[in-house]
Amino acid sequence: MEDLKLSRKEREYLRHRQEILQVALKLFSERGFHNVSMHEIAQKSEFAVGTLYKFFSKKEDLYLALILEKAREFRSALTAALQTPGDEMKKIRTWLEAKIRLFMDSLDFVRLYVAETRGGSFNIKAGLDKEIKKNYEMTLKEIEALFASGIKKKLFAKFDPHLLAVALEGISNAFLFEHLEHPDKHWLDANLILEIFFQQVYTGGAHG
Amino acid sequence: MEDLKLSRKEREYLRHRQEILQVALKLFSERGFHNVSMHEIAQKSEFAVGTLYKFFSKKEDLYLALILEKAREFRSALTAALQTPGDEMKKIRTWLEAKIRLFMDSLDFVRLYVAETRGGSFNIKAGLDKEIKKNYEMTLKEIEALFASGIKKKLFAKFDPHLLAVALEGISNAFLFEHLEHPDKHWLDANLILEIFFQQVYTGGAHG
DNA sequence: CCAAAAGATGAACCAATATTCACAATACGA
DNA sequence: TCGTATTGTGAATATTGGTTCATCTTTTGG
């Protein structure tokens, strides 16, 4: 984002910090917070344990920084996607496409993020929990607003917009998880998800 | 299930075992595997630490037993719900109602289960992972079969039945999670979920 | 080239806690 | 009632792994 005007020292500091975070992300995403030791992060990132503590004062802080920074990145990318011009349907499509792309590009983070948002956030203490949840709620609110205005225009059927947002999140996440488990089986496709969500599934036996 | 023909000793053994599991479930569901100590489980269940090890040879085994036994219980209840007479739509409705009821009746377990199935199962080692996943896949397969036969009868629109099953799971879980977070906000209602899932959401601007 | 500062190191320390086991309490059958 | 078997106990042990800090290395400015 805003690089420049950083001294060489500062850039190096940030690069080192990033390297640590990257190694930690890989490890945490594979085995979770408690099954990864600082010693291992140190070894894999080719720093000494003590050095890690120059960057992060506690193991928990390292983890926290990891999740929060990525989560903010995700959120801003998704919010940006909503700024696309077009009607509500178009915006939702763009948003979903962005979401799929983001997830596919950082599957390891997704696992961790999911564990945090959905898994009762056992792994770490409060604080993280709070911001992550708020983050999620805000995304939900944005989608909700989109539905609300779409309903006003009679573009969408008249359901509670909040529930629609929850449902769309749910359905798209389900597909993403499915893909996480069986990457080869189905290709992730925004159109398919949107069709199932928006089209009529129950025909009641009408001639198909 | 099949009680009787157990000696008093055996019944007592099982009762003790259950008491331990129950206490452990409460604790694990609140704070996760790693943030609960055997000593605490011992204290809260009013047994000595050593006694716990008479029932479960490792902490992990205790956790494992806990999840697996409840998961099997869930699964058999859901499978039973699918045996209800009626057409595919009716079966799905009954299944969803059973699912909602089950979840509502054991919110603490649900948190743990979700953490396991969705959260990359960091908490414990393999083995559990495998059975839980298979369990989930089988439920999915059952729903999928329902969709497949419903589609053949032209009761449902012609989508990939597997994807429909994933979508329905996703949408219903999303509502369950939403309810976990905001128990007061919306009342969990199978009809509402089914409407959003099965009815047409996108009208394309038709007169509403 | 040198001294002071900044950065990096990893052995050692220590707290937390899973697990063991020698012993005590209790139940049981004779 | 008594000896044996079963069950329960919890202090002691062992291990793991987070954190510290005295020391070494590198950089910097003169």
Handedness of CA A78, A134, A194, A107 (dihedral sign): positive
Per-residue pLDDT, A207: 45
Q: How many CB atoms lie within 10 A of CB B150?
A: 23
Residues 6+ apart with CB under 8 A from B182: none
Whether this model's pTM surpasses 0.95? no
- Residues contacting nucleic strand D by the 7 Å CB criterion are A 8-9, 34-39, 49-50, 53, 57-60; B 9, 13, 16, 46-51, 53-54
Q: Return the closest-CA partner of residue B58 out of B160, B128, B161.
A: B128
Region A51-74: what's the mean pLDDT? 94
pLDDT band per the 50, 70, 90 thresholds, residue A2? very low
Specify the higher pLDDT residue, B2 or A106. A106
The mean per-residue pLDDT over the stretch A23-41 comes to 93
Mean pLDDT for chain A? Answer: 88
Distance of residue B20 Cα from the nearest chain A Cα, in angstroms: 21
Which nucleotide comes closest to A13 if you measure CA to C1'?
C7
Q: What is the pLDDT of residue B205?
A: 66
Cβ–Cβ under 8 Å, residues B149 and B73: no
Supply the pLDDT for residue A113. 78
A155 touches chain B (CB under 8 A): yes
pLDDT at B124 over 60: no
A47 touches strand C (CB under 7 A): yes
Residues pairing with B156 in the sheet: A202
Q: How deeply is B92 buried, as exposed, middle or buried, from its count of CB atoms within 10 A (0-12, 13-18, 19+)?
A: buried
pLDDT tens per residue across span B5-56: 778 888 999 999 999 999 999 999 888 889 999 999 999 999 999 999 999 9
| Contact: A154, B208; criterion CB under 8 Å | yes
A182-204 pLDDT per residue, tens:
888 888 899 999 999 998 887 77
Q: Is B66 helix (H, G, I), strand (E, B) or coil?
A: helix
Q: Does A186 touch chain B (CB under 8 A)?
A: yes
pLDDT of B4 > 70? The answer is no
**CA dist., res. B56 & res. A132, Å (int):** 36
Residue nearest to nucleotide D16 (CA to C1'): A37
Q: CA torsion B136→A190→A109→B141, rounded to 10°?
A: 10
Rounded to the nearest 10 degrees, the angle between the axes of helix B161-181 and helix B128-152 is 120
Percent of chain A scoring above 90 in pLDDT: 63
pLDDT at A173 over 70: yes
What distance in Å separates the CA atoms of residue A131 and residue A54, rounded to the nearest whole number? 25
- Kindly report the length of chain A: 208
Q: Confidence class of residue B206 from pLDDT cuts 50, 70 and 90?
A: low
Q: What is the pLDDT of residue B177?
A: 86
Q: Where are the alpha helices (DSSP H) in B83-160?
A: 88-105, 107-118, 128-152
